[in-house]
Chain A
Amino acid sequence: MPSISEQVRVALYGKLNVAGVTTYVSTRIFNLVPATSPSYPFIVYQRQAPGNVVYTMSGATAVEDDLWLIKAVTTEDDNSSYSPQELADLILSACQTAIGTTMTLSANTVVWCRRLADIPPYVEQTTDRLVYTHGFLLRVAAE
Chain B
Amino acid sequence: MSMETVFNTLGQSVMPKVAAAAFPDTMTVYGETLTSDSGGGHRKTQTTVYSSVPVAYEPNRNDRRRIEGERQLSANEYVLTFPTHSAAGSRYNIDPIAHRLVVNARGNEPAKTFRIIAAPDLSGAMYEIICVKEN
A→B interface (CB under 8 Å): 33-34, 36-38, 40, 42, 44, 71, 73, 75-77, 79-86, 124, 126-129, 131, 133
Contact = CB atoms under 8 A, between A and B. Distances in A.
- Per CB-CB distance, the 9 closest pairs between chain A and chain B, nearest first, are A83-B41, A131-B69, A128-B115, A126-B68, A83-B37, A85-B41, A126-B69, A80-B45, A73-B70
Interface in B65-91: 67-75
B135 interface: yes
Contact of A85 (B39, B46, B69, B135): B39
Interface residues of B, number: 23
Contact of B73 (A37, A71, A79): A37
A44 B70 contact: yes
B45 A128 contact: no
B25 interface: no
B67 A33 contact: yes
A40 B44 CA distance: 15
B72 A34 contact: yes
A80 B47 CA distance: 11
Contacts, number: 71
B36 to A, nearest CB: 8
Interface in B1-58: 37, 39, 41-46
10 contacts: A33-B72, A34-B72, A42-B70, A73-B69, A75-B69, A83-B39, A85-B39, A85-B41, A127-B63, A128-B115
A79 to B, nearest CB: 8
B71 A33 contact: yes
Contacts of A131: 68-70
B134 A128 contact: yes
A77 B39 CA distance: 18
Contact of B71 (A34, A80, A84): A34
B94 interface: no
Contacts of B69: 40, 73, 75, 124, 126, 129, 131
A38 B68 CA distance: 12
Contacts of A133: 70
A86 B42 CA distance: 9
Given A37-B73, A80-B43, A127-B117, 15 more contacts: A34-B70, A37-B74, A42-B71, A44-B70, A80-B44, A80-B45, A84-B41, A86-B37, A86-B43, A124-B69, A127-B63, A127-B132, A128-B75, A128-B115, A131-B68
